[in-house]
Amino acid sequence: MASASSPPRKSFGSDDHSLSRVPRDQRLGFWTMLLQWLGQSGSLSQFTLGATIGVGMTFGQAFLAFTLGAVILEVVIFAIGLAGMREGLATPLLTRWIGFGRNGSALVSFVIALSLVGWFGVQNTIFATNVTALAGGSPVLWSAVAGLAITVLVIFGFRSMALLAKIATPLFFGLVAWSIIGTLSDHSVSQLINSPAPGPHMPLAVAATAIAGGYMTGAIVAPEMTRYNAKGSHVFIQSASSMILSEYIVGMTGVLLGHLVKSSDVSHIVLSTSGAVGAVVVILATAKINDWNLYGSSLGVVNFFQVVFSKRLHRGVVTVALGLAGTALSAAGVMEHFTEFLSVLGIAIPPIGGIIVAEYWVVRRMRRPLDETRAAQTLPETSPTWVPMSLVIWAAAFCVGKYVTVGIPALNSLGTAFVLYSVLGLPGWIKPYGTSAREDADQDLPTTRQATPAGAA
């Protein structure tokens, strides 16, 4: 640790409490956090998902499917997000005391970071392709511009991303509403609602799988956002509002568009006309989703390096490395070949959520050190080193999600992990092995006090 006479080191961007609790006086206000949540609700792919379901279902059947998906997601988000809010910890660090132990949290961090930075590259590729079609130019150039711009934004952390949400979220939904309302005004909405499915029937389980499974990874990493929430009631209201907007408004609008064009290819309607307006919609849609991919990945890498290499990395520096790597791979056009691998990782992540929920809210044996240090806003002095049974449960739940063909894969894996951990944990059969002392490397990082008060919006 630097001596009292040593000048403070300059920080590179914001470390954003990547290895500590977010202090209570640095939590953000209701409206700021609401816009962050709503910013995750609308994307071009969600309209396409709605249209895909609409082609195979009536409006009423699709409403039921979206309701099922929304309820599943909200239960998971609230259970995990509330834990993140109470502790002020992101998912990778939370798992040190909730289910996995110090070394197990490194595995969790690696899987989450690899998945999120992979999707960052994929989304960047999709962005470049769409903007090139709308406005011309080179997809390599657009990919580089978008990737670097988002990287710079994420370097400065949560508050800069909150500022983007205040601008991008209302503008995105305003532009999309303008183009869709203009299209639907020329048709009878009541006829579209009552029209039969224009394509082959889609079973309810298949539709619910697409709805709930597609966002399950985002639900598991909800603490990355909720650790900045001030109240548990805010977590519920904001996440529920996000579900309503995402599933009932965006998703069901996609259903209507699917009935209108009798196809899942509705992106041309959402983007309105080619050129500047469509390009702005694509830019906003990508920015407010992809910044969270890169941000969550950076938090996972910081925890991974501290556990595995005993090296304290600054989150801003990690963001630069991940952003440049994801941008380079997307510009080279190779990320689209990894989507199947990323989908497999998407099945591996839900069991993490099942174990977190089971330990934190049901078993409650490993979380005691967090309870004892929460008021002081510090981390426990020690953490379990390994929890082998959790890793066994994780592997078993992954196999269920991967190979059981009935039901929703993401939900199957999450539910299996929750049930197994609860059944084995309540009698005390899940035992940690070894004890690791807390690293104090956080003291060596420069800490910049944020001026935004806790109630600021």
In a domain, 404, yes or no: no
Predicted local distance difference test score (pLDDT) of residue 443: 44
In a domain, 442, yes or no: no
More confident residue, 166 or 282: 166
At 444, the pLDDT band (50, 70, 90 cuts) reads very low
Question: For 384, phi and psi rounded to 5 degrees?
Answer: -60, 145
- Joined together, the tokens standing for residue 80 give 């995990």
Predicted local distance difference test score (pLDDT) of residue 282: 72
Query: In a 10 Å sphere around its CB, with 0-12 CB exposed, 13-18 middle and 19+ buried, how is residue 2 labelled?
Result: exposed
CATH code assigned at 248: 1.10.4160.10
348-367 pLDDT tens trace = 999 999 999 999 999 999 99
Weakest mean pLDDT among 82-91, 125-134, 300-309, 415-424: 125-134
> What is the average pLDDT across 368-390?
95
* CA–CA separation, 357 and 220 (whole Å): 10
Predicted local distance difference test score (pLDDT) of residue 374: 96
> What is the average pLDDT across 283-291?
82
151-195 pLDDT tens trace = 999 999 999 999 988 888 888 888 888 878 888 888 888 999 999
In a domain, 288, yes or no: yes
Q: Are 264 and 52 in contact (CB under 8 A)?
A: yes
Evaluate if residue 421 carries a pLDDT over 90: yes
* CA–CA separation, 130 and 43 (whole Å): 13
In 3D space, the residue among 212, 215, 231, 292 whose CA is nearest the CA of residue 82 turns out to be 231
The share of the chain scoring above pLDDT 70, in percent, equals 91
In a domain, 390, yes or no: no
At 340, the pLDDT band (50, 70, 90 cuts) reads confident
Predicted local distance difference test score (pLDDT) of residue 5: 40
Predicted local distance difference test score (pLDDT) of residue 352: 95
Predicted local distance difference test score (pLDDT) of residue 177: 84
Predicted local distance difference test score (pLDDT) of residue 6: 41
In 3D space, the residue among 114, 43, 134, 40 whose CA is nearest the CA of residue 335 turns out to be 114
In a domain, 417, yes or no: no
In a domain, 364, yes or no: no
Predicted local distance difference test score (pLDDT) of residue 119: 86
Q: Are 90 and 112 in contact (CB under 8 A)?
A: no
In a domain, 425, yes or no: no
Evaluate if residue 448 carries a pLDDT over 50: no
Q: 44-56 and 276-309 are packed helices; what angle lies between their axes, rounded to 10 degrees?
A: 100
At 134, the pLDDT band (50, 70, 90 cuts) reads confident
Cα-only R_g, the chain? 22
> What is the average pLDDT across 248-270?
85
Predicted local distance difference test score (pLDDT) of residue 11: 61
Query: In which residue are the tokens 């904001």 written?
Result: 238
Residue-range definition of the domain harbouring residue 195: 32-351
At 276, the pLDDT band (50, 70, 90 cuts) reads low
Structural domain count, the chain: 1
Highest mean pLDDT out of 215-219, 370-374, 449-453: 370-374
At 275, the pLDDT band (50, 70, 90 cuts) reads low
In a domain, 331, yes or no: yes
At 278, the pLDDT band (50, 70, 90 cuts) reads low
